[in-house]
Amino acid sequence: MRDAMKAGMTVCALLLLSSAVTYGQAKSTGSSAATPTAITSSNVGFTLPSVDGTIHYALTASEIVQYGYFGSGRATASTALSGNASYSSTSVDLPFNLLYAGGVLISESSGVNTTTYQNLAVSQGLIAKRWVLGITDSLSYLPQSPTTGLSGIQGVGDIGGYPVQGPSAGPAGGVLSYYGSRVSNGLSGSVERLLTGKTSISGSGSWSVLHFLHGNDGYNSSQVSGQAGLNHRLDARDSMSVNGIYSIYNFGANLGGVSFTTRGVNGVYSRVLSRSLTVNLSAGPQWISSSNSALIPSSLNVAANAGLSYVYKLTTASLGYSRGVNAGSGVQVGGLSDTVSGSLGHSYGREWQASASGAYSHTTGLVKGTLTPPPGAVYPLGGDFTTVYGAVQVSHRLSRSLSMYASAGVQHQSHDAGFIGNNAFTGTSQTFGIGITFAPRSTRLGQF
């Protein structure tokens, strides 16, 4: 029982760590999946450790070309020096995980600044008899809206081979903003108590903040959430639960300190269809109310998640759908998003690996009123956004520690005439990257 609980805790920790480098709304149950052993042992580039008590790191040098990101028809280039590192402890009772991704993008084009990005997440668990506790803290500094890959930066060679959720799964939401430095921090804790061999109660709480470092780059926001649930395993393949969740979203002084809350009740069902295929479903009503109903009217919506994950030999795939409220990505004062996301990875022996991920999102702003804002405050009003992004990457092993990759990505976003604001990215941009990665074998560390 304790080994099973420990394994479950480790998977949850890795999924939580993955959300440290991606930012958006409610989690989608199908937007990420644990890395299959076949892919983690491929020795192509950076991967999460497949054995507890190991540390793995990788260093990458790459050349990145972007077309259309810094202006329609404009091509820019940069040299990227980046690194990733991960650690998983050997402790059964105190599982610990750490994940880091960071680098510098050295601009080779006039009018484009050299930038850096940093992502760090740590997760600590405690398993004691019938109790399972966990706490995760994630901190991120990014020069632009995240999309695909471990870091969220296209072209640096970190697509595939680990849990990936994309920007619809963290504090920033699914809408892309123009380039602008931003800091995000998320802290969450969870507790679960086994009542019987099949039934447990659980609770969790989280706090997150999205802060833009330049006043006109985006709108700052913070979120506090709490959740409680009752969980029951029906049989070896089926489990279900019911949970209630309450969230508060607050915005900075440039938006007059406006806030709104959401309350919801969700039913959750999970089934293992086969040794390779798992499905997860959740849905329930979601009530929205705000500190100013003239700006954000009260409403009743449906929040939902659906996910399908597939792992078989050298192939892993996932498909997910999510619907729910988010903080608006620094572009809007809250948004209601429908997002479809997917990923696919396949290893061709130990020499080649191909990965792809992407998403489609439709977001409607919560602000409906025409209230005159306080002096100095500007409300971005209304608007429907359509956002599409995706990337593919092919990696090839050159030697035991060296590999090379080539990647291509695209992002497109448009909005209707109802949007009034100046932070939203519009148009289409493409990113191409090629690089070489040094990733030595994982190092086994002692007991911690």
* Buried residues in 118-152 as b, exposed as e (16+ CB within 10 A): bbbbbbbbebeeeebebbbbbbbbbbbbbbbbbbb
Higher pLDDT, 163 or 153: 153
59 pLDDT tier (thresholds 50, 70, 90)? very high
pLDDT tens-digit map of 251-261: 877 677 789 99
Q: What is the residue range of 295's domain? A: 2-444
Q: Whose structure tokens read 């990788």?
A: 58
Query: How high is the pLDDT of residue 369?
Result: 67
d(CA 253, CA 220): 9
Q: What is the Cα 391 distance to its own chain's centre? A: 15
Q: Which of 351, 358, 429 is nearest to 394 (CA)?
A: 351
d(CA 87, CA 97): 6
Residue pair 33/316 in contact by the 8 Å Cβ criterion? yes
Looking at the predicted structure, is the pLDDT value of residue 165 above 90? no
Mean pLDDT of 30-42: 38
Looking at the predicted structure, is the pLDDT value of residue 168 above 70? no
Which CATH number goes with the domain that contains 47? 2.40.160
Mean residue pLDDT of the chain comes to 82
Any idea how long the chain is?
A: 448
Kindly write down the DSSP assignment for every residue of 125-139, as one continuous string: EEEETTEEEEEEEEE
How much helix, strand and coil, in percent to the nearest 5, is found in the chain?
5, 55, 40
Strands (E), 234-370: 238-251, 259-272, 277-290, 299-312, 315-326, 335-348, 352-365
Phi, psi (rounded to 5 degrees) for 13: -65, -40
392 CB neighbour count, 10 Å cutoff: 18
Looking at the predicted structure, is the pLDDT value of residue 438 above 60? yes
Looking at the 3D structure of the chain, how many domains does it have?
A: 1
Query: How high is the pLDDT of residue 169?
Result: 44
Phi, psi (rounded to 5 degrees) for 259: -145, 160
Query: How high is the pLDDT of residue 49?
Result: 62
175 pLDDT tier (thresholds 50, 70, 90)? confident
87 CB neighbour count, 10 Å cutoff: 22
pLDDT tens-digit map of 222-267: 999 999 999 999 999 999 999 999 999 998 776 777 899 999 999 9
Q: Which of 134, 168, 131 is nearest to 148 (CA)?
A: 168
pLDDT tens-digit map of 279-335: 999 999 999 999 888 888 999 999 999 999 999 988 999 999 999 999 888 888 889
Q: Is the dihedral of CA 108, 109, 111, 117 positive or negative?
A: negative
Q: What is the Cα 370 distance to its own chain's centre? A: 33
Query: How high is the pLDDT of residue 255?
Result: 72
Higher pLDDT, 430 or 172: 430
12 pLDDT tier (thresholds 50, 70, 90)? very low
In the chain, pLDDT over 70 holds for what percent of residues? 81
- Supply the pTM of this predicted model: 0.84
d(CA 313, CA 51): 18
In the chain, pLDDT over 90 holds for what percent of residues? 48
Mean pLDDT of 66-80: 91
Residue pair 208/220 in contact by the 8 Å Cβ criterion? no
Query: How high is the pLDDT of residue 374?
Result: 57
Residue pair 152/143 in contact by the 8 Å Cβ criterion? no
Residue pair 286/264 in contact by the 8 Å Cβ criterion? yes
Q: Is the dihedral of CA 320, 321, 322, 327 positive or negative?
A: positive
Kindly write down the DSSP assignment for every residue of 148-202, as one continuous string: SSSSS-TTSS--SSS----GGGSTT-S--B-S--EEEEEEEEEEEEESSSSEEEE
Higher pLDDT, 30 or 367: 367
**Which span out of 7-16, 87-96, 156-165 was modeled with the highest average pLDDT?**
87-96
Mean pLDDT of 38-42: 42
* DSSP category for residue 381: B
pLDDT tens-digit map of 371-416: 555 555 566 667 889 999 999 999 999 998 999 999 999 999 998 8
Sequence-distant (6+) residues with CB within 8 A of 82 are 59, 60, 62, 101, 102, 103, 104, 151, 153, 156, 157, 158
Query: How high is the pLDDT of residue 129?
Result: 87
